[in-house]
Amino acid sequence: MMTRLDPTVPVVDAVDLTKIFPGPPAVNALRGVDLRIAHNDYLAIVGPSGSGKSTILNMLGLLDRPTSGALRFGGVATETMSEDARAALRSEHIGFVFQAFHLLSRRTVLENVMLAAMYAPVPRAEREERARAALDRVGLSHRVSFTPATLSGGERQRVAIARAVCTSPGLLLADEPTGNLDRNSSDSVMELFEELNADGIAIVIITHDDDVAQRAARRIRISDGTLQELT
């Protein structure tokens, strides 16, 4: 069964992370990064191209390992974990949203969302109900049997968000989620993030859009692999 993260423990506590891509030439993508994310945080990461935004998001999402440093997820040390154990943590506690939606074009909206539940410890009998609830949550109950191609960009991103949250993760990681959207769709995605955050999901979002960054409660600038908290 699913277990929830303890809200009194940071969702992520990263200390002195470095990441060196060996190359050649070797790239120091993260240089001594400390980052603590609380269960109610809403954090935007901004920074120029190549500064390390995707690299840090991949660490937070347990998709990649640091070269050195420590990263605790929900209070649990992840450095010494097997890939299988990391994948299990990821599918249970972390939702991902991408700029390009990454929906399966031949599947319906409902099937796309149900697929996320298949990879998480959600009992088979609960998957459809969970997926329908998540789609209701993002305002797309009337689109369950459509295919992604028939939806607007904003609707597609809301399906992707439903897919990310249908397993009730404690952390939502979003890489340029509004990068392909017009202002109106972007605003509705941001409203949704604010509601999800108020419901207790920690959110980390990479963005180039100042308006999007301004709506986050916390902002961090990354430049050349070093973090700076903005006030």
Ligand X SMILES: Nc1ncnc2c1ncn2[C@@H]1O[C@H](COP(=O)(O)OP(=O)(O)OP(=O)(O)O)[C@@H](O)[C@H]1O
| Interface with ligand X (CB under 6 A), residue from 7, 50, 75, 200 | 50
Site for ligand X contains 54 (CB under 6 A): yes
Q: How many residues bind ligand X (CB under 6 A)?
A: 11
Yes or no: say if 96 and 62 are a contact pair by the CB < 8 Å rule: no
Whose CA is closest to 204, among 219, 189, 223?
219
| Interface with ligand X (CB under 6 A), residue from 10, 11, 53, 158 | 53
| Interface with ligand X (CB under 6 A), residue from 27, 63, 88, 89 | 27
- Residue 154 in tokens: 């904003």
| Shortest separation between residue 152's beta carbon and ligand X, angstroms | 25
Distance CA 189, CA 158 (A): 7
| Shortest separation between residue 49's beta carbon and ligand X, angstroms | 3
Task: List beta partners, residue 173.
Answer: 96, 204
Give the nearer residue to ligand X in terms of CB position, either 27 or 89: 27
| Interface with ligand X (CB under 6 A), residue from 55, 157, 186, 188 | 55
**56-78 core/surface letters (b: 16 or more CB in 10 A; e: else):** bbbbbbbeebbeebebbbbeeeb
Give the nearer residue to ligand X in terms of CB position, either 64 or 128: 64
Give the nearer residue to ligand X in terms of CB position, either 112 or 207: 207
Distance CA 158, CA 138 (A): 6
Q: Where are the alpha helices (DSSP H) in the chain?
A: 53-60, 83-93, 109-118, 124-137, 153-165, 183-198, 210-215
Site for ligand X contains 29 (CB under 6 A): yes
| Interface with ligand X (CB under 6 A), residue from 51, 178, 197, 207 | 51
Q: Which range in 10-18, 42-50, 140-148, 182-190 contacts ligand X by CB under 6 A? A: 42-50
- Residue 4 in tokens: 């929830």
Site for ligand X contains 49 (CB under 6 A): yes
Site for ligand X contains 21 (CB under 6 A): yes
Distance CA 56, CA 30 (A): 8
What 8-state DSSP symbol labels residue 35? Answer: E
* Residue ranges that bind ligand X, judged by CB under 6 A: 21, 27, 29, 47, 49-55
